[in-house]
Structure 1
């Protein structure tokens, strides 16, 4: 395993202004009451100039607070509520409902940014990825170079450039991305564009709507309090363009455009909270089976990596590793390997899903109870 990451640095994630705790109604009332008592002190001392008391015999405001005249209490309460109301009106996050405001308040001082302990850790991450997914060598090399360069330049966080893994189904594109998230020690969010084909699942919907809610990405970042999760969007070319009754389109690719652009992602506006967030740290890995169906603006924001179909050698290496992990005996492993070799020799193109099904069958056969 790669070496442990150092203590995570904090980054400011929310650009909106938080309510000032000093302008809470109770605190304003306390300060105005103290001010009124100090005025009374000054008036009393000005009436008795020849008998200046010592400092320790001045009014103890905490003791006599209950003696505040009722009329003064009412005036102070009105002023305190007016001050607090004006502050909330001019403070973006203060205008949110209590539940949503408390959700954001947890990240007031910033959120964690998963970081590298050293440049050597980038080498270890790349080595593990390549050992497990050698056919995804170009993607691994992209991650390796990006992490090393980021560390050398002193940039905070373990972050990679947005990428698109384009290739046949069942070759481990999503598994590679999940493994990357594990090695970076950062949360992972996976969306299947064939089912989450609208923008709502990722970025959320407006508060005014009946089903208004924050998106899954922002919800993950606020809950885990980590700024650079890995987001995997599978088969993004199948997302389609859902439309509302009024003809408004909610395309997933369109929602991704501002999130993938560094300039706009640093001040991305959430449709639900109506507050700007810094999303530039997010690590994006999109997958597709045919990138030609994707819009040009989306492709221009991604580094497209074409992943070939698995060779027989790669498949056999995968089977060997999985057999060890599943504690398969050698005869069972040999049987699966023989089936894979036969499939390739017969002109078929088995993928990892086929290999996993064969391994599961072999495992079940090996572990079945003995019949007496």
Structure 2
């Protein structure tokens, strides 16, 4: 295999560790010991960054951070608020977090087919996600994970809707970040806890709250990301660089927590309108898909599918398609707004 072909492969997943019933010790009731002690043993012995499964279970767990040392946070500030908050988050991440989502070939195919049914114009990115997730499963991943994907498409094409549908269909929690609302990179990468304005990133907070190690994180309008803080990178999008490659994401040091946090299990979806505004090293670490705006025939077909999917009257199809072909509905965003109004009208109670 050529060097370039090897680099194209998704990163290998750490080998799974299983709790064998034979390792659980002797006792009068081995089955009861398997059900009780195995779970406790997993909670106590799961290594940082190494997925572990209970014997006979379909769910894997992984710790993302070592157990925090409270003494490492003391004395930094007279106001202990940030220190206590850091300890609370670090403790949550040092507990075993679940690795979820479809982890069988047929389940991944069904997931992608479900999303494609509602967003047929995103066939290419969905196929890229399917192939990447299938590759990860073949290499031993006990959970749903795909290579970071960067999608460029014009406004109103349904990028955000597709990403949210993918997250909902996968059963994974989803964090939505709007880059246009960011003036620093703190929502993605934490600020140092020694500063008065310090706060943890929304990413580590989300992991701690959801207790799932492989959520889907959607960064919308990524090409509009800016960082106005002092000593910021010249290109704000480069803040993602260490998070998009498995080895550097696994060794990520969170400045607010002052400890290592393994972020290598996160599924990243980056959405943009202009690929040229994103740093080339960032693009090189992602699967890049460029899409054109859907044409009239594609919008008409999506309108037909959406009416059926939402359970709306078939009589709506003809006027919607007429509106598309006459230029009154020129984007998927406008189409979905019209369908939302039809939904609301259909469920509105009649007043006597």
TM-score scaled by length of structure 1: 0.70
Residue 11 of structure 1 is matched in structure 2 by: 62
How many Å apart are 1:249 and its aligned residue?
4.9
**1:201 partner SS:** coil
Change (3 A) 1:94 1:146: farther
Change (3 A) 1:144 1:371: closer
Do 2:147 and 2:268's aligned partners in 1 also have CA atoms closer than 8 Å? yes
| Among 298, 308, 313, the residue aligned to 2:297 | 313
| 1:161 maps onto 2:147 in alignment | yes
Change (3 A) 1:190 1:183: same
Distance in 2, matches of 1:148 and 1:105, equals 33
* Residues paired across the two proteins, number: 290
Change (3 A) 1:111 1:363: closer
How many Å apart are 1:327 and its aligned residue?
4.4
| 1:129 maps onto 2:115 in alignment | yes
Change (3 A) 1:100 1:184: same
| 1:354 maps onto 2:334 in alignment | yes
How many Å apart are 1:325 and its aligned residue?
4.8
Q: Which moved more, 1:147-156 or 1:212-221?
A: 147-156
How many Å apart are 1:242 and its aligned residue?
1.5
Residue 329 of structure 1 is matched in structure 2 by: 313
Matching of residues 1-372 of structure 1 within 5 Å? 7-14=58-65, 16-19=66-69, 89=71, 92=72, 97-244=83-230, 248-249=232-233, 252-343=236-327, 350-363=330-343
How many Å apart are 1:109 and its aligned residue?
3.5
Over alpha carbons, which structure has the higher Rg?
A: 1
How many Å apart are 1:139 and its aligned residue?
0.8
How many Å apart are 1:359 and its aligned residue?
2.6
Distance in 2, matches of 1:290 and 1:129, equals 24
Do 1:164 and 1:285's aligned partners in 2 also have CA atoms closer than 8 Å? yes
Q: CA RMSD in A?
A: 2.7
Do 1:187 and 1:224's aligned partners in 2 also have CA atoms closer than 8 Å? yes
Do 2:329 and 2:335's aligned partners in 1 also have CA atoms closer than 8 Å? no
How many Å apart are 1:301 and its aligned residue?
1.3
How many Å apart are 1:148 and its aligned residue?
1.5
Distance in 1, matches of 2:224 and 2:205, equals 24
Distance in 2, matches of 1:362 and 1:102, equals 46
Change (3 A) 1:363 1:183: closer
**Structure in which a larger fraction of residues adopt helix:** 1
How many Å apart are 1:248 and its aligned residue?
4.4
Residue 43 of structure 2 is matched in structure 1 by: none
Change (3 A) 1:117 1:329: same
Change (3 A) 1:93 1:153: farther
Distance in 2, matches of 1:107 and 1:266, equals 13
How many Å apart are 1:370 and its aligned residue?
7.8
Do 2:173 and 2:210's aligned partners in 1 also have CA atoms closer than 8 Å? yes
